[in-house]
Amino acid sequence: MQLGLIGYYSDFVVYPLVIALLGVAGLIEAGEESAPDWIGTVVICLGLWTLIEYVLHRFVLHHVPYIRDLHDRHHVEERSPVGTPTWLSLGVHALIALPIWLLSDFATASAVGCGLMLGYLWYISVHHMIHHWHPAHPSYLYTLKRRHAVHHHIDDNANFGVTSLFWDRVFGTARL
């Protein structure tokens, strides 16, 4: 969706606050004895985000009609504030965490939520940086920027991972 500047940048304020609050509450709920398990769940879900990012980019952003049109626009107007509104992305995270809370407990749901939201925050941060910054050669960010430029300008059927090339390698869509 076309966002105003406040809407575009609100993720960079809201997500760190939500993650911090949810993390503190989740760790308190987990207790000292279960804190390592809580942290492990966060790390696993952070890693899981990379697969979700890949799948969403490859199959949703490139194939679902209305969303595909917005994404195509992003390919043309790379610096335009087009994105997912914070209320919508947080709502999707809540739809994932709430059933886990109902089926398990708050500590587990908070760890899953924190891991996925950390992954999402990393994704939107990296995506913003590769479109707006000029990273030094041959940094991690420069490599990601170059891969993403190939996706935008040479082959939009390749390089769906924005923060990692792992899943592109696994599924044969990597193009360097």
Measured between alpha carbons, how far is 43 from 14 in angstroms, rounded to an integer?
A: 21
pLDDT: which is higher, 74 or 111: 111
Please choose, from the candidates 116, 117, 108, the residue with its C-alpha nearest in 3D space to the C-alpha of residue 29: 108
pLDDT: which is higher, 119 or 77: 119
Give the pLDDT score at 26: 97
pLDDT digits (tens, 9 = 90+) for 128-140: 999 889 999 889 9
pLDDT digits (tens, 9 = 90+) for 69-80: 877 777 777 777
**Domain residue extents for the chain:** 5-131
Give the pLDDT score at 152: 84
SS3 50: helix
* Ordered DSSP codes for 40-61: HHHHHHHHHHHHHHHHIIIIIT
pLDDT digits (tens, 9 = 90+) for 20-29: 999 999 999 9
pTM for the model: 0.92
* Burial class, 49, CB count within 10 angstroms (exposed 0-12 / middle 13-18 / buried 19+): buried
